[in-house]
A and B are shown apart, each in its own frame.
Chain A
Amino acid sequence: MTDMLKVEKLAKSFTLHTQGGTTIPVFEDINFSMQAGDCIGLTGESGSGKSTFMRMLYANYLCASGSVNVFHDGRWVDITTATPHDILEIRKVTMGYVSQFLRVIPRVSTLDIVAEPLTTLGASEEAAKDKARQLLSRLNIPERLWSLSPLTFSGGEQQRVNIARGFIADYPIMLLDEPTASLDAGNRQTVLDLIEEAKERGSAILGIFHDQAARDAVCTDFFDVTKHRIEYDG
């Protein structure tokens, strides 16, 4: 098996300067790794820090200490010490992240938003849009909406646009924060199919899944973040 991501002795705390400089310790000594073809489910109750951990891996949150080594472009890069330019390159080529929120420039069409990660990688406009159309169709976004900005869509539709955008570029590592939340049974199955296909391609996937059935259907292993959680009763 090929290692794709290795986390060693990772720690995190938040310092709240707006509240008198209180420091809230969150995690310590997290060791974790993922191989190609893995789909690991993050477990732990709501508020236990699953999304925080995922954001640390994506360099969206800084880490207090430890390392997050990502296998990028044939070499290992520690994302906790990488330059902003290297991190942006890793996000472009190697690591995708589907968050629970859709953040886009108003007025840009859904089709362009979904196609963008692929054109950024150098694909032709036409090839990228073709794949975007396929994904949007599979995720049941009606064709008449493709030319509109997703900002006016329903929560479930926005979530599916986010998923289409996240899955278009076949990233070797994928981080999925509640990809099946607020989806009906049919669309949930499509997302699970997309995850299965990514696993078969050899992507390493880390996911937060609220519903047990989805989790059991795709996950090859589980990781409980609460074990590394530091209790805080300040």
Chain B
Amino acid sequence: MSRDSNILLSIRDLTMMYGSRIGCQDVCFDLWPGEVLGIVGESGSGKSTLLNCISAQLEPSEGQVSYNTRIEGMKEVYQMSEPERRLLMRTDWAFVHQSPRDGLRMNVSAGANVGERLMAIGNRHYGDIRQSAENWLGKVEIESDRLDDLPSTFSGGMQQRLQIARNLVTGPRLVFMDEPTGGLDVSVQAKLLDLLRSLVRDLGLSVIIVTHDLAVARLLSNRLMVMQRGRIVEQGLTDQVLDDPQHAYTQLLVSSILQT
């Protein structure tokens, strides 16, 4: 089947070495539009390194990251000029960090955090910017009377939702998420999962989500990759990988889940 023209992101032979240590090695995969890809594995398995390399935040030692740009089609991300790559990261891409503090500016208001991304791509009308900031806070269930408050006055769950609003306001096509539900208590996590899934469905987003929580991976992702010591040891449909794991490491991971 020739779906090649539809591929949104294509990763080939990606390797990242930290000196003689392996961050990630020989990673190859494609991502389709509207697809949610989960990356699981224990701490230190290279999940975040891989995510940072793919999302143009950490230049890999070897390999290609190609993205299907709206105008010019497939382009190698690390071959782009610096301004071009910056623009891509501010418009078509979004990155949701595990800690909202890494993705938010803590000393400006919630509204400004959301509005800033719009200004960065050239919006100048204050009223419009404030209006879309307010709309987005509504979508992530933050009351509009908190628009002028600093994120530092928000709870952890609210900060995470604010970070998501800040990221999605520019209408990205591809969202990278690093443990977006980590560190949140379960009721807040459930709310966030529900929010993420409806945003993915309603906006047709493609997502690459790194998590160590297999339950989160099962509920959010269509496809799953399992990493161990920097390599992808197994990949496939999410429910197949979790219900009939083939690799020794995946079997160990799945059999280590606590039952509630």
Residue of B nearest to A21 (CB): B248
The reply to whether the CB of A220 lies closer than 8 angstroms to some CB of chain B is no
B252 in contact with A17 (CB, 8 Å): yes
**Chain B CB within 10 A, most for which of A17, A18, A55:** A17
- Selected interface stretch from A36-44, A102-110, A131-139: A102-110
Inside 8 A of B243's CB, which chain A residues have their CB? 55, 60-61
The reply to whether the CB of B244 lies closer than 8 angstroms to some CB of chain A is yes
Q: What 5 pairs across the A-B complex have the smallest Cβ distances?
A: A17-B248, A106-B190, A61-B244, A107-B194, A84-B237
Bound together, the chains give a CA A60 to CA B240 distance in angstroms of 5
Inside 8 A of B246's CB, which chain A residues have their CB? 15, 62
Give residues in A with beta carbon < 8 Å to B. 14-18, 21, 55, 59-62, 83-88, 103-108
Secondary structure class of chain B's binding surface, majority of residues = helix
Inside 8 A of A106's CB, which chain B residues have their CB? 190, 193-194
Chain B residues 182 to 200 lying within 8 A of chain A, measured CB to CB, are: 190-191, 193-194, 197
Inside 8 A of A83's CB, which chain B residues have their CB? 1
The reply to whether the CB of B70 lies closer than 8 angstroms to some CB of chain A is no
Bound together, the chains give a CA A84 to CA B238 distance in angstroms of 9
Give residues in B with beta carbon < 8 Å to A. 1, 3, 32, 35, 190-191, 193-194, 197, 218-219, 222-223, 236-237, 239-240, 243-244, 246-248, 251-252, 255
B32 in contact with A107 (CB, 8 Å): no
A190 CB to nearest B CB, Å: 28
B244 in contact with A62 (CB, 8 Å): yes
Inside 8 A of B247's CB, which chain A residues have their CB? 17
**Chain A CB within 10 A, most for which of B3, B191, B239:** B239
Residue of A nearest to B223 (CB): A84
5 contacts between A and B (CB under 8 A): A17-B247, A18-B248, A62-B236, A84-B237, A85-B35
A108 in contact with B252 (CB, 8 Å): no
**Chain B CB within 10 A, most for which of A59, A103, A104, A105:** A105
Inside 8 A of B191's CB, which chain A residues have their CB? 107
